Amino acid sequence: MVKIYMYGADEFLGHDISSMMSGRLAKIYQIKEEEILFIAVNSIIYHQGVDQTSYHLFFHVEAPSAFKKHEQEMKNYLLSASEDFSVHSHVEFHYEDNEVYSRIDEEYPLFVTEKNSVVVEAADEDDEENIDIFSEIK
């Protein structure tokens, strides 16, 4: 499994970044898209007290050491593709051969997708009852 942590990107850009990059990264690493996870870390980057969020974007890529041979192509792609999301971008690779253990519930899909997600509509305020949640405390 490849994990790509994003620091300094607005956390709501995680959707756009992962949607845009997953397919190409899977091709570079010659793996399935299901083997790549993007993690949008809720982070703010400061330099001398000034917010640098979305000005500097840091990618920390965790991958098995066998993938080191793809580092130059990965670096080039991440730096060029991130031009739409930040002014400056940086990539750092971490290679590990640690085992990953998972529990997968076979009754559910491995990932939520646009096709299998459930959209819950918010109720109108007029439809809600006025409930006193503190009534039993009084």
pLDDT digits 0-9 by tens, 26-59: 999 999 999 999 998 888 889 999 988 888 999 9
| Cβ atoms within 10 Å, residue 63 | 22
Q: What is the rounded distance in angstroms from the CA atom of residue 9 to the CA atom of residue 86?
A: 7
Domain extent listing, the chain = 2-100
Question: Can you give the pLDDT at residue 135?
Answer: 53
Q: Distance between alpha carbon 95 and the CA centroid of its chain, in Å? A: 19
Question: Can you give the pLDDT at residue 126?
Answer: 55
pLDDT digits 0-9 by tens, 124-135: 655 556 565 555
Q: What is the rounded distance in angstroms from the CA atom of residue 70 to the CA atom of residue 101?
A: 25
Residue 13 has pLDDT above 90, yes or no: no
Tokens of 114: 């646009």
Q: What is the rounded distance in angstroms from the CA atom of residue 75 to the CA atom of residue 73?
A: 5
Phi-psi region for residue 124, left (φ > 0), alpha (ψ -120 to 50) or beta? beta
Q: Among the listed ranges 13-17, 57-61, 119-123, 124-128, which one has the minimum average pLDDT value?
A: 124-128
Question: Can you give the pLDDT at residue 54?
Answer: 84
Superfamily of domain 2-100: Macrophage Migration Inhibitory Factor (3.30.429.10)
Question: Can you give the pLDDT at residue 118?
Answer: 73
Phi-psi region for residue 30, left (φ > 0), alpha (ψ -120 to 50) or beta? left
pLDDT digits 0-9 by tens, 56-112: 999 999 999 999 999 999 999 999 999 988 899 999 999 988 887 888 888 888 877
Tokens of 18: 């992962």
Q: What is the rounded distance in angstroms from the CA atom of residue 8 to the CA atom of residue 109?
A: 30
Q: Distance between alpha carbon 111 and the CA centroid of its chain, in Å? A: 13
Residue 122 has pLDDT above 70, yes or no: no
